[in-house]
Amino acid sequence: MIITPKASTLNYVKASLTLLLFVLSSFTNAQNVKVVTGSIIDAKTKSEVSEVNLRILNADSTKIYEGETNADGVFAFENIPFGNYSLIVDDETYNRLIIPFSLKEENALGFTFTPFEVGRKVTWMFDWGDAFGKEHYWSHLLAKIIMIIYFACLFLVLFYSILQVTLAITYVKNKKKKKEEVLPVFDPNNTPKVTIQLPMFNELYVADRIIETVANFDYPSDKFQIQVLDDSTDETVDVIAKKVAEIKARGINIQHIHRTDRTGYKAGALDDAMDQVEGEFIGIFDADFVPNPDFLQKVMPYFRDEKVGVVQTRWGHINKDYSLLTELQAFGLNGHFAIEQGGRTAAGHFINFNGTGGVWRKTCIEDAGGWEHDTLTEDLDLSYRAQIKGWRFEYREDVIAPAELPVTMSALKSQQHRWMKGGAECFIKMWKQLATAKGVRISDRVHGLSHLFNSSVFIFILIIALLSLVLLHIKDSFSDLNYVIRYGAFFLISTVFLGYYYWQSYRDKTGHPIKDFFKFIGRFFIFLMVSMGLSLNNSVAVIEGYLGIKSSFVRTPKFNLAANHNAEENRYDKKSLSILNIGEGLLFLLFLGTAINRAIYGDLGMVPFHLMLAYGFGVVFYHSIKELRGVKTK
C-alpha cells in the first residue's frame, strides 16, 4: 500500500528546507569579507592607472581570485573568505609586486588597501619574461652590466682627477720654493749655435709675421740660423720666398727649404731638414707664434746642464679676449701649462715637448731615434722616447711664447681631433715600452701612462653621459638597484678636484678673492660644459687612434686677426656639415628633453648634469651650424 503524505506535511518540509538553506547561506556570508578594495598609482607619473591585472592568492589553498583596476585605478574583489592571502600585481606593463595580508572577522564589511605605487617594467631592455625562477632575469642582468660600465667610467674619471689634483698640490708647493730660485744668466760670448725651424703648410696669413718675428731675435748672428720648412702648395710658397730673400739681404743666415712631397707632414719636414741643421740646438715654432726677441736669451742658459735635452716654454695667448671660445681655450691650456707641465717637472715625472715654443738639443733628437711620423703627435712620441733614454726635460713657466688661439669652432674641433687622435696613437705605440723600460720610477710610469692615456677621458665622459639616460630607466624599473645608483653622487668629488686644479692655474685673478672666485666658478663650469660638448668629436678621434685608422695631418687654420679681422674669410678653415654635427644637435635635444621631463616629474637628481650636457652640445652645435651657414650665404 502506498502512503501519500498530507499536504500540510509537505508544506512543513518545504518551509524547513528553505529555513535551513537561509541559515546556511547566512552562516557562509558571515565567513566572508564583503569587498576587498584599493587603488594603484604609477610610481613615475603619480597618477592612477587602469587595466592593471591583479590576483589574490589564498596562502592555504590554490584558490585564486583575478581582477583589474578600473578607469580610476581602483580594484575590488567581492566575497573573499577569511584567511591569509597575497595580493599580486601581475601585469605586462608594471613590475610584479606581492603584498601579504589577512582577512579576519573585523574585516567582514570590507578591507581597503592603502593606495600603493607600482613601477613600469623595462620593456626596452629585452623584456624576456621569467627565467630561472626570477622576474625578468635578463633585463635585470643587463641593468647590472650597464651599471658596472657606468661606475667603471666614473671611477676612471675620478682616478684621472686624483692624479691631476696631486700634480696641482706638487705645483703649489714647488711654486713657493721657486721664489728663491736663482735664474742662470745669458752669456752671449759663450752661447751655442741655434737653428730655428719654422714648419709651414699653406700659411698665407701668418708666414710673413713668424719669419719677421724670428729674424728679430736678439742673439749673436754668427750663432744663429733660420730654416723655413715649407710644404705649401699655394701662393704661400712665393710669399715665403720673397720674405726669406728680404731677411737674407739683412745678413741673416736663413734658408727656404721647400718640399713638393709632403711625406710625414710636419714630422717629415723636420726630419728631412736635419742634415742641413748647423746649430747644436734646434728651436721650433709653429706659424701662429710670436715669440719675444729675448726668447733664446732666456732659454739657452738652461742647456748648461748636459743632461737637459729640451727646454719647453709656456704658451701665451695673443687673442685670448677675442671671444668666449678663445677665453675657454686659454683657460684649459693654462691648466696644462701650469699644473701638468709644472707639476710633472716639479715631481720629476715625464713631460712633453708641445710641438712648438721650445728648444731641442740636436743630439737628444738623434739619440732618441729622430722624428717619426707614424702618429699625428710626433712631439709627444719623441718626448717619451727621449726621456725613456734618460734625457731630462726642463719646463720654464716664466718664459712665455705668445701664440694665436683658433677663433672658430671648426678650427678648434680640427685641432682637438688631431691632438686626441695623436695621443691615442702614442699610447698604443709607447705604453709597453714605458711600462717595461729599465730605470724608470713606478710613479713616473703611472703618471706617464696616465698622460698618454688621458685623451681617453672624453670617451669615459661620453659613455657616462649616454648611460646616465639608461640609468634613469633602471632607476624607475628596478627598485632594488636604486641604493647603488645613489652612490654615484660620491663621484662629484671629481669636479671638486678639477676645480682646485684649474683654480691654481687661473691667470685672471685681480687680487679680490671673492670677486675672483665667483668669476672663476662661472668660467670653470662653462669650460666643463663645452668640454662635454666636444666629447663626441674627441671620442671619435680617440677611437680612430686606437683602431689604427690613419688620416692626414690637418693643421689648425691660422688667422692673424690683427691683419684679417674677419675670421670667416680664412680660406683654410674648411667647414662642412658632417654626421658629427648632426649627432651633436641630436644629443643637445636628447639631454635637454630629458632634463625638462625629469624636472616636470620632480626627479631632479640628474637634471643639473643633463642641463650641463645640453648646454655643451648646444654651444658646439650652434657655432658649428652658424659658421656653416656663414659659408653658404657668401
List the catalytic residues.
Answer: 231, 379
C-alpha–C-alpha distance, residues 307 and 414, integer Å = 36
Could you tell me if 283 and 359 are in contact, meaning their C-beta atoms sit under 8 angstroms apart?
yes
- CB contact set of 432 (below 8 Å; sequence gap of 6+): none
User: What sign does the dihedral 475-477-479-481 (CA atoms) show?
Assistant: negative
Contacting residues for 26 by C-beta, under 8 A, at least 6 apart: none
Residue 177 grid coordinates: 720654493
How distant, in Å, are the alpha carbons of 410, 532, 593, 630, 633 from that of 624?
6, 15, 21, 10, 15
Quickly count: other Cβ atoms within 10 Å of residue 324's Cβ: 13
CA angle (32 as vertex; 27, 35 as ends), nearest 5: 140
Residue type, 346: A
- Burial-class residue 146 by CB neighbours within 10 Å (0-12, 13-18, 19+): middle
- Checking phi first, is residue 52 left (phi over 0); if not, alpha (psi -120 to 50) or beta? beta
Question: What distance in Å separates the CA atoms of residue 528 and residue 534, rounded to the nearest whole number?
Answer: 10
In contact, 396 and 357? CB cutoff 8 Å: no
With beta carbons less than 8 A apart as the criterion, state whether 407 and 557 touch.
no
Taking CA atoms, 554 is separated from 200, 416, 429, 551, in Å, by: 12, 11, 21, 8
Distance CA 384, CA 387 (A): 5
What's the gap between Cα 169 and its chain centre?
Answer: 23
Closest by CA position to 347, among listed 183, 164, 525: 164
Cβ contacts of 115 within 8 Å, gap of 6 or more? 38, 39, 40, 41
Kindly give, in sequence order, each residue whose CB lies less than 8 Å from that of residue 442, ignoring residues fewer than 6 positions away. none
Ramachandran angles phi, psi of 36, nearest 5° = -110, 120
Sorted by sequence, the CB contacts under 8 Å of residue 85 that are 6+ apart come out as 56, 57, 58, 59, 100, 101, 102, 103
DSSP 520-561: HHHHHHHHHHHHHHTHHHHHHHHHHHHHT------PPPP--T
Q: Could you tell me where the DSSP H helices lie in 117-235?
A: 137-178, 207-215
Task: State the amino acid at position 514 in one-letter form.
Answer: I
Report the interhelical angle of 457-477 vs 137-178 (nearest 10°): 140
